[in-house]
Structure 1
Amino acid sequence: MSVSTPATGVRLKKPSWKDPRLLVGVLLVLASVVGVIALVGSADQTTDVYSARDGIGVGEKLTPDNVNRVKVRLGDVEDHYVTVESGLPEETVAVQRIGKDQLLPRESLGKVDALNRKPVALTIEEALPVQAVAGTRVDVWVALPDARSGFSEPKLLLPGAEIAQLTPGSSALGSSKFTVLMILVGDGQMPALLGAQANKAKISAVWNPGGGS
């Protein structure tokens, strides 16, 4: 008969801080925690910037009265907008219309002498749709007087002219209604439009929903 010897139990060694596997595990956990903290911190980064309070028209000067301060996440495009930290640029006007609550893009701002369009008032009798508001566009057609006390065939003079302002009006007795339409006109188109007005041409504006010029 053989006598079996009892199996000797394997004794587990107490983990040591000098164990490389333990150190690698700790480092991985720490790296994961740091990454999560950095991700959460970057996602919560906001910037104080300015936005248009009620819309800023072309040529209108920027002041504390026509802007609001808002917090937004801009990330890599922060340099394209006016921040509260940089402050409102002095003696600066809008060279493009900035809509209500829209952030102030730096490319839409400039000095007065940088304006290449100027507002001109047109009095029109045709009704415009309610969608025709400041910032949208109209096509301006002109019919010059002819020798028969009438008007020649209308021609498209200003395609896609931007509306700066609309003001409804009426005659003294209220018998007729009209709209004073302020549109933005480039210097190159100005002589033709002013000449048509001086020659008592019939000027009509047609809303251009496409907005292209």
Structure 2
Amino acid sequence: MTELVTPTAGRLRRPSWRERRLLVGLLLVVVATVLGARAVAGAGDRVPVWVAADNLVAGDAVGSGSFVRADVRLAEGTASYLGADAPPPVGSFLLRDVRAGELVPTSAVGAADAVGVQRVTVRVDAMATTGLVRGSRVDVFVTPKASTTAGRSVPATTKVLSSAGVAAVLTSSGGFGSGSLTSVQIYVPSEKVQALVEAVDGEARLTLVPSVGAATGGAG
């Protein structure tokens, strides 16, 4: 009778360094694949929108350099923003202020007939412009020129504008004995332009006071 051969158990062999490297490599491939899939899925959720390249002020005309493109992920239910899948609306106008780096709402841009302000240049004491930048908001005070007629009362200072947008702060200038003056371009509601121009023509003194919460910085 033939005896059955009894199998012998083989000894367990520790994986070689080559096998360990193979396992690590496979693990890295799996991780990279998962991360790549997540990145692609996340990129698909982003939409191109226009972002303000600088402080934009209500009344500004939109130019080719007013906006820059950004791809962002917008939460559901957020306000509608100007999509960058179409060219910027060059020739339209800002209807409200938009700070540098802020997404541009579609409601912030409109036609010329929707703009209710006009740009007026005034000259004020250079010290009154300290800290003002494009996009600042200022209250404008007017002090009429003192009359030389005897018996006249001292002219009263009145506030003629509240929270007017600063379009530009220009280079200061002045001559001997004239003091230093700076030209400031501000956006004035259309119905108040005439009164401000008349004050300037009457050599009234204008003072600009930053509104509460106004943007500030170096003059420029």
TM value normalised by structure 1: 0.69
Match of 2:164 in 1: 161
The SS at the match of 1:128 is: helix
Q: Distance in 2 between matches of 1:185 and 1:175?
A: 27
Change (3 A) 1:175 1:144: closer
How far apart are 1:82 and its partner, in Å? 0.8
- 1:118 and 2:99 matched: no
Q: Which runs of 5+ in 1 are unaligned?
A: 1-36
Q: Which whole-Å CA distance do the structure 2 matches of 1:87 and 1:77 have between them?
A: 24
- In the alignment, is the contact (CA less than 8 A) between 1:47 and 1:71 conserved in 2? yes
Query: Contact between 2:118 and 2:189, CA under 8 Å: does it hold in 1?
Result: yes
- Whether 1:103 and 2:106 are equivalent positions in the alignment is no
**Deviation of 1:83 (Å):** 0.8
Percent of aligned pairs sharing the same letter: 23
Distance 1:53 1:155 in 2: 36
Q: How far apart, in 2, do the equivalents of 1:128 and 1:77 lie?
A: 43
Distance in 1 between residues matched to 2:75 and 2:61, nearest whole Å: 28
Specify every segment of 5 or more residues in structure 2 that has no aligned partner in the other structure, as ranges. 1-36, 215-220
- Residue 68 to residue 94, structure 1, CA distance change in 2 (3 Å): same
The number of aligned residues is 174
Give the Cα–Cα distance (whole angstroms) in 2 for the partners of residues 146 and 65 of structure 1: 45
What code does the residue aligned with 2:194 have?
P
1:34-183 aligned within 5 A: 41=41, 45-77=45-77, 80-89=80-89, 91-128=91-128, 130-148=130-148, 152-172=155-175, 176-183=179-186
In structure 1, what is the Cα distance between the partners aligned to 2:201 and 2:131? Answer: 30
Per-residue CA distance 1:5-54 (angstroms, 9 max, x = gap): xxxxxxxxxxxxxxxxxxxxxxxxxxxxxxxx99x957961111111223
RMSD over equivalenced CA pairs, Å: 2.9
Alpha-carbon distance, 1:60 to partner: 3.3
How far apart in 1 are the matches of 2:198 and 2:124?
17
Deviation per CA, 1:71-98, whole angstroms, max 9, x where unpaired? 1111335661111224423531212232
Higher relative contact order (CA 8 A, sep 6+): 2
1: CA distance between counterparts of 2:160 and 2:176? 32
Secondary structure at the residue paired with 2:191?
A: coil
Q: State TM-score, norm by structure 2.
A: 0.67
Instruction: Find the counterpart in structure 2 of residue 22 from structure 1.
Output: none
Counterpart amino acid of 1:137?
Answer: R
Residue pair 1:59, 1:94 contacting (<8 A) in 2 also: yes
How far off its partner does 1:63 sit? 3.8
